A = this chain, B = another copy of it.
Amino acid sequence: MSNLYSNIGKRVPKLDAPDKATGRARYPQDLTLPGMLHGKILWSRYPHAKIVNIDTSEALKIPGVMSVITAKDLPYRNSGFMKDNPPLKRDKVRSLRDEVAAVAAVTEEIAEAALEHIKVEYMELPGIFDPEEALRESAPLIHEENKNNLVKMKYKFEHGDVEEGRKHSAHVVKGRFKLHFVTHTCLGTCCCIADFDSKGKLIMYSPSQVPFLHQKDMADVLGMSGSDIRIIQPTIGGAFGSKLDLYPYEIICAHLARIAGRPVRISFTRMEEFCCTPTRQPAIIESEAGVDADGKLTFREAHIILDAGAYVSWGPTIPYVMMNSFSSLYRVPNVSFDTTIAYTNNIYAGAFRGYGNPQGTFVVETQMDELAELVNMDPLVFRILNSNRPGETTPQGMKVTTCGLEECLKRAAKGINWHEDRRGVTGKIRRGVGLASFFHVGGGARVYRSDGCGAIVKIDDFGQVTLITGSSEIGQGSETVLAQITAEELGVRVEDVKVINSDTDIKPWDVGVHASRTTFIAGNAARIAAAKAKRKILEMAAPEMGLQCDELDINNRFIYYKANPEKRVRFDKILRKKHFDYNGNIIVTEHFYDPPTQRQDRNFKGNVSATYAFGTQAAEVEVDTETGIVRVLKMVVADDVGKALNPMLLEGQLEGGIAQGIGYGIYENLILDKGRVMNPTFLDYKIPTVNDMPEIKVEMVETHDEEGPFGAKGIAESGSIPTAAAIANAVYDAIGVRIKGLPISPEKVLKALSKK
């Protein structure tokens, strides 16, 4: 069937690649506006302190300094998920990334210098850096207006009867897992430009991955109407969830611009990027799981303790997704999941590709391996036995339509030579293999009331197609895939399609880039808008060709008679003819696609996604038992992608995800000491480089999802979800020790080996 497609299933290079490769692409750092100033933020000197006084008078005297602001200059309006984060801190600071004051000056150097002349008098307070300690009664209060340090959010999910499940278990495993801080390390650091126009409307040049939410949030915090805020997205140098929230630096930038009366840019240094941007949510997970004598899962129970940091950004909301790993990955009849979330004086966590799923999957898949061993089954066989199947509904009410998990497991195992006997390798270097799967939304996620995306298709008389899509290109390749979808539906070539996607004034609404939703949701919007355009074109062509509309189709820029493809006319010729005819017309169509899904109820039940993605990763590792160093030799990823719209981009996305997963599993660790980031450089914060990357084999399992565009599912996040778990299981296979904290550092390996 895929042979029928001209654009779908093809290895089309990313449309933005040439501009990025040649330096033409303009990131926010590359933009300047006439009269633009440079903003700099003064960060807190202490993780926890009262602000006694701020004296900005000296800073204001420096030539070239145009404005210096503190909380006094701002209205009382906070940002963040719990609206607990003032853009500039008023009476106290709660973490070292707290914004105390800000400067706008004619150069970055002057702004930087001015910061040193702002005199802040602090009264240091005792800090608290561990969520469990934060909840003790004696703990110092971080937000005094609360009676304790508990964040008033609770993710409690119950399904079936866990006690009953436990009773019917032949084996039970129990563990406490500790997940760490890692950060996104986007190549493009945080950078925005705020510019008020002559009517007082704000234009934000922002790398936001959710421009329409950004518009609304920015409006709320500035006390403006959303209609007065225009978000323009320059080329975005990576986001991975880090640009999902509205952060104080952006609000500060707007205030500086408003007060200075000139555009202002704030651009983070790499060190600021490490210290002052959100992290992946660290977690302590206490989990129990059981299996009956036949190897069927009986229950899972998990309690999650989260360190919110000083403020609630998206980090503490990740149990919403993490819960899915426990409730819906493999078939489990009884589930209990709940959370305790505490404020600390650490830097706060945000959204990060996978959104709690890497943490949850690490625990679930470690325990799957433990259970398989207890019940004496091959981990592959055990997983297949418990695998999700098409047609089932998971405990959270998620309706699995297509599901290729069993095939993914088999292909991943085959790819890694699962049954090869690696015990032959003796001596200090040991080899092992491990498996881990994932369950994730693949058809959007109705976390907001709308999960929709709008698309406008305009075709000019040269046959050139413009797709105006609500979705955003953040480097993930959405432009390319949307151009392919549009081209395929219209019967033209991918190079005939231009994608416009970077201005809220122009593009129709979209909830943003999150939850692996763009290909699916924006893809469907584009596909349907294109289908409407195609219909109009066929209606134009039919009388010209003396045929009925339904007898015609379009391929490779030709409208042809299906019964005799030699009878054809050029696509652009029909468009021109109709355009320039008396009572002419042009082709403009639109569609807003909102998937047939539900928001979850209070009990976290509901079919949030129009389809679900599954997949398995198999890792082969080598562990040096003398140094404790783990090396990943090979990764196989087999994903149920629905339909591979662009195998090259899919591979790229999966490989990138695996790189992040390997980083998460064995290298990356943002070390905090009393709230201070101790390794804020790429020298000290190790990400996998090309030398660390193993061979990666990508297997695509196509289940042809009925609701997906040309059968596709979203898999953008999946690459990074099960990697750490697969590596951990491979490490166990190699050296027989279970590491229940990440990263699996040489230190942890040696310590575990010595205990053994």
The complex is assembled from copies of this chain, and their number is: 2
Q: Which of A448, A462, A495 has the most CB of B within 10 A?
A: A462
* Given A21-B198, A34-B30, A588-B592, A458 contacting B227 (CB threshold 8 A): no
Flag if B580 contacts A449 (CB, 8 Å): yes
Q: How far is the CA of A580 from the CA of B24 in the complex (A)?
A: 38
* A412 at the binding interface (Cβ < 8 Å): no
A590 at the interface (CB under 8 A from B): yes
Known interface pairs A24-B197, A24-B198, A226-B462; A585-B592 also in contact (CB < 8 Å):
yes
**In this assembly, does A579 line the interface, its C-beta being within 8 Å of a C-beta of chain B?**
yes
Question: Contacts A227-B462, A460-B509: A584 and B468 contacting too (C-beta < 8 A)?
Answer: no
- A452 engages B594 (CB within 8 Å): no
Contact status of A198 and B18, CB under 8 A, knowing A454-B588, A464-B227, A505-B466: yes
**A505 cross-chain contacts in B, Cβ below 8 A:** 466, 498, 500
Residue A26 is within 8 A (CB to CB) of chain B in the complex:
yes
Q: Is A199 an interface residue when CB atoms closer than 8 A count as contact?
A: yes
A463 on interface, CB distance cutoff 8 Å: yes
A583 to B591, CA, bound (A): 12
Determine the distance from Cα of A579 to Cα of B592 in the docked complex, in whole angstroms.
10
1/0 per residue, CB under 8 A from B, across A555-598: the answer is 00000000000000000000000011111111011101010101
Of A19, A461, A586, most B-chain CB atoms within 10 Å? A586
Q: Chain B residues near A498: list those with CB within 8 A.
A: 505
Asked if B26 and A496 make an inter-chain contact with CB atoms under 8 angstroms apart, the answer reads: no
Is A456 in the interface zone, CB < 8 Å from B?
A: yes
The smallest beta-carbon distance between A282 and chain B, in angstroms, is: 33
Judged by a CB distance under 8 angstroms, whether A665 is at the interface is: no
A516–B307 CA distance with the chains assembled, in angstroms: 66
On whether the beta carbons of A198 and B22 are closer than 8 Å, the reply is yes
A225 close to chain B: CB less than 8 A: yes
Contact residues, A580-618 vs B (CB, 8 A): 580-586, 588-590, 592, 594, 596, 598
Closest residue of B by beta carbon distance from A198: B18
Residues of A in contact (CB 8 Å), total 55
Q: How far is the CB of A582 from chain B (nearest CB, A)?
A: 8
**Chain B residue contacts of A594, Cβ below 8 A:** 582-585
Cβ 8 A contact of A227, one of B197, B198, B496, B581: B496
Indicate whether A661 reaches chain B with its CB closer than 8 angstroms. no
Known contacts A34-B26, A227-B464; is-contact A584 B450 (Cβ 8 Å)? yes
Within 8 A of B (CB), among A17-56: 18-19, 21-24, 26, 30, 34
Residues of B within 8 A of A589 (CB): 590
A-B contacts, 5 of them at CB < 8 A, read A18-B197, A24-B197, A226-B461, A461-B509, A466-B505
Q: How close is A41's CB to chain B, nearest CB, in angstroms?
A: 26
Any B CB within 8 A of the CB of A506: yes
A24-B198, A462-B225, A496-B227 known; A586 vs B580 contact (CB < 8 Å): no
> From A580, which residue of chain B is reached at the shortest CB distance?
B449
Contact A19 B198 (CB under 8 A): yes
Q: Is the C-beta of A415 less than 8 angstroms from some C-beta in chain B?
A: no
A226-B464, A508-B586 are known; give 17 further A-B pairs, CB within 8 A: A18-B197, A22-B198, A24-B34, A24-B197, A199-B495, A219-B462, A227-B462, A227-B463, A452-B586, A456-B588, A458-B508, A460-B509, A466-B505, A506-B506, A584-B592, A586-B592, A588-B592
> Bound state CA distance, A198 and B509, in angstroms?
29
* Contact B579 A509, beta carbon cutoff 8 Å: yes
Q: Mark A432-475, 1 if CB is under 8 A from B, else 0.
A: 00000000000000001110101010101111101010000000
Report Cα–Cα, A449/B589, bound state, in Å.
23
